[in-house]
């Protein structure tokens, strides 16, 4: 029978770390989501300067490891006289990370709206702001929802990097427990199970949203194929 020093108190401590993981994920998604919306709009801006600047931002962030961004936020800012807590550094770093990746997801969703929809809005003499708010964005939201939910899984998992700046989230909680009882297999098995419990529902939700979005296309294709024999006979 397997004997272990891991007990209910350790599990409770891990759950507290998981709560901070979720809190950090929400901070990153909220802050990064607001910034990502601005990035997405900037990427399709009529101004060439704005498009280039936003494109450089996306390339800079996507070309930099998240770990490096966290180090710069936590250890670099104090050299400039700006003291930040581990939570602030981790939250700001993840917000920057989310702004670039989620901004590209939303930019692609906006540009995926069929061109006739844009042209129809122009024919109604709507301003660019009205076209975006009343015609384009409502359709883009439906396209962007599945990949956005899927990206939330990446946010949750990437919060584990916050442990390198001393923030006690789920992974860091596991390190603290393991340093006490020296049972890495049990500790990290429980951590993996908690991460799975947090991420799996999001993955299932993302797949269901994607299937729901693709259902009308499949139905239309099925309807068209069923009419092909009639068309050939006529």
Q: Give pTM, 2 decimals.
A: 0.84
Q: Is residue 187 part of a domain?
A: yes
80-90 burial: b if 16+ Cβ within 10 Å, else e: eeeebebbbbb
Residue 216 confidence (pLDDT): 58
CA dihedral (217, 109, 62, 74) in degrees, to 10, reads -120
Question: How much is the pLDDT for 232?
Answer: 47
> What is residue 48's DSSP assignment?
H
User: Which residue, among 151, 142, 144, 146, has the nearest Cα to 210 in the 3D structure?
Assistant: 146
The answer to whether residue 121 is domain-embedded is yes
136: containing domain = 8-214
Retrieve residue 164's tokens: 């390198």
* Tally of structural domains, the chain: 1
DSSP-assigned letters across all residues of 66-85: HHHHHHIIIIIGGGGT----
Question: Given this model, what pLDDT does residue 2 score?
Answer: 54
Asked if residue 143 lies in contact with residue 210, where contact means CB atoms within 8 angstroms, the answer is no
Chain centroid to CA 102: how far?
6
pLDDT of residue 98: 97
In a domain, 186, yes or no: yes
For residue 208, give the CATH number of its domain: 1.10.3720.10
Say how many C-beta atoms besides its own lie within 10 A of residue 74's C-beta. Answer: 22
Packing angle between helix 48-62 and helix 86-112, nearest 10 degrees?
130
Q: Residue 39 half-sphere exposure, CB side, CA atoms within 13 Å?
A: 28
Query: Does residue 22 belong to any structural domain of this protein?
Result: yes
43 in any annotated domain? yes
Q: Is residue 225 part of a domain?
A: no
pLDDT at 206: 84
Is there a domain that residue 135 lies in?
A: yes
The pLDDT, as a whole number, for residue 89 is: 95
Q: What is the pLDDT along the chain (234 residues), one digit of tens a residue?
A: 456 788 999 999 999 999 999 999 999 999 999 999 999 999 999 999 999 999 999 999 999 999 999 999 999 999 988 999 999 999 999 999 999 999 999 999 999 999 888 888 788 878 888 888 888 888 999 899 889 998 999 999 999 999 999 999 999 999 999 999 999 999 999 999 999 999 999 889 888 888 887 765 454 444 444 545 544 454
Write down the pLDDT at residue 131: 86
19 falls within a domain: yes
């Amino acid at each position: 029978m397997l004997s272990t020093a891991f007990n209910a108190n350790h599990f409770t401590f891990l759950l507290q770390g998981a709560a901070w993981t979720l809190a950090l994920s929400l901070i990153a998604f909220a802050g990064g989501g607001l910034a990502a919306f601005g990035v997405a709009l900037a990427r399709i801006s009529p101004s060439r300067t704005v498009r280039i600047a936003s494109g450089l931002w996306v390339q800079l962030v996507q070309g930099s490891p998240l770990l490096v961004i966290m180090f710069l936020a936590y250890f670099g800012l104090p050299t400039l006289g700006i003291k930040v807590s581990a939570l602030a550094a981790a939250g700001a770093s993840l917000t920057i990370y989310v702004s670039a990746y989620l901004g590209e997801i939303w930019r692609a969703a906006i540009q995926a709206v069929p061109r006739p929809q844009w042209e129809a809005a122009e024919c109604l003499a709507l301003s660019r702001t009205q076209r975006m708010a009343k015609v384009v964005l409502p359709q883009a939201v439906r396209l962007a929802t599945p990949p956005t939910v899927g990206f939330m899984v990446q946010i949750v998992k990437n919060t584990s990097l916050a442990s390198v700046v001393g923030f006690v989230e789920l992974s860091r909680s596991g390190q603290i427990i393991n340093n006490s009882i020296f049972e890495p297999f049990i500790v990290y098995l429980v951590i993996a199970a908690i991460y799975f419990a947090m991420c799996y529902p999001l993955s299932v939700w993302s797949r269901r949203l994607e299937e729901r979005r693709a259902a009308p296309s499949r139905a239309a294709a099925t309807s068209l194929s069923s009419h092909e024999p009639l068309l050939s006979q006529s």
